[in-house]
Amino acid sequence: MVNTTLKKLSQVSGLSISTISRALKNHPDISEKTKSLVIELANTLDYEPNINAVHLRTQNNRLFGVIVPSISNFFHESVIAALEEECRKNNYTLMILQSGDDPEIESDNIKLCRQNRVNGLFACITPETKNIESFSKLKEVDIPIIFFDRVPERSDCHKVCVADIDSATMAANLIAEKQKKKVLALFGNSNFLITKKRFNAFTEIMSAHNIACITAYSSNETHSEELTNIYLAENPDSIFCMTDEILTGVMRAIQKKQLKIPDDISVIAISNGYIPTLYYPSITYIETSGKKLGKLAFESMMSTISGSTFIQDRTIESVLVRGQSI
């Protein structure tokens, strides 16, 4: 069966297309009698407006795009979930795109956003995104972009990030407070601005408290496990994990060696919150909430869309969630 259109409703009812259209959107020009008649007819014929035609005509898609490296990631998942919820509330649609951390796919995705005439884009850039030229094309056509989590370094764009320095500082301070003497600190991809900032903040506090600090970078689970095995030889009394991936690697190494947490070794992480609860004793972590980030990013989008020329640069504050691992 072919789709019902306004034209069909018009033919069946004998009313004009414009009357049908107005009746369905409760326009004051149309009499109540006609309205109810049209609405009933539309229901029996299962009319659904063709959204392409609507958008073409109104030039407003009520559509946002979001580009993440992968939806298979606790943090980005929760960001998307939050964005989705807000979109639903505000009657927007969300187009979810995955870049796979590939700049080429990323630029394809941006093209898709342009073709779809999105009203705005939320973007978490890939590590390799050096220039944001493909993004600037969006700006040329007045499509606002809210960068989140991994953002460009330049200052002339909207950003919503988790606390970079703060979260590292909180973890470091807790380690100092607990009188730890030697910490193994594992950081994520060293290309990211956030990693650099956290690294500096963390190591600074360590040296301020005269705590020995072994540092290394790792961006996946297996590598983290290897690193842990290597540096465990130096007998650290605590381990700091900057990401969930690092945490799982570290935990595998610890479990294999049958070390007791927190007696043999303490663990503290920065996390979105799910992974740390899987272990026993549960891992103490600094929560960087994707939900909050999503909500804030959406707010920023709405305010720039409604005309604010203010450059949004906002930060989610982190909170310490105490487990028994330190």
Partner DNA sequence: TTATCAACTGCAAACGTTTGCGACAATGTT
Partner DNA sequence: AACATTGTCGCAAACGTTTGCAGTTGATAA
What residues make contact with a copy of itself under the rule CB under 8 A?
A: 1-3, 46, 48-53, 55-56, 61, 70-72, 74, 77-78, 80-81, 84, 88, 93, 95-96, 98, 105, 111-112, 114-117, 137, 140-142, 248, 251-252, 255-256, 275, 278-280
What residues make contact with DNA under the rule CB under 7 A?
A: 3, 5-7, 14-19, 21-22, 24-25, 29-34, 47-50, 53-54, 56-59
> Could you tell me if 237 and 266 are in contact, meaning their C-beta atoms sit under 8 angstroms apart?
yes
Nearer to DNA, 46 or 153 (CB): 46
Nearer to DNA, 32 or 153 (CB): 32
Nearer to a copy of itself, 33 or 260 (CB): 260
Nearer to a copy of itself, 202 or 279 (CB): 279
Strands 319-321, 284-287: parallel, antiparallel or unpaired by DSSP?
antiparallel
Q: What is the DSSP string of 37-62?
A: HHHHHHHHTT----HHHHHHHHS---
User: Cα(138)–Cα(144) distance, rounded to whole angstroms?
Assistant: 7
> Could you tell me if 174 and 268 are in contact, meaning their C-beta atoms sit under 8 angstroms apart?
yes
Interaction partner, residue 141 (DNA, a copy of itself, none; CB < 5-8 Å by kind): a copy of itself
End-to-end CA distance of the chain: 65
What minimum distance in Å lies between the beta carbon of 11 and DNA? 11
Nearer to a copy of itself, 16 or 136 (CB): 136
> Could you tell me if 188 and 219 are in contact, meaning their C-beta atoms sit under 8 angstroms apart?
yes
For 150, other C-beta atoms within 10 Å of its C-beta total: 22
What minimum distance in Å lies between the beta carbon of 38 and DNA? 9
Q: Across 201-271, where does the E strand assignment appear?
A: 212-217, 238-241, 266-271
Residue 123 bridge partners (DSSP): 67, 147
Interaction partner, residue 33 (a copy of itself, DNA, none; CB < 5-8 Å by kind): DNA
Q: Which residue, chain included where needed, has tokens 């409604």?
A: 306
What minimum distance in Å lies between the beta carbon of 25 and DNA? 6
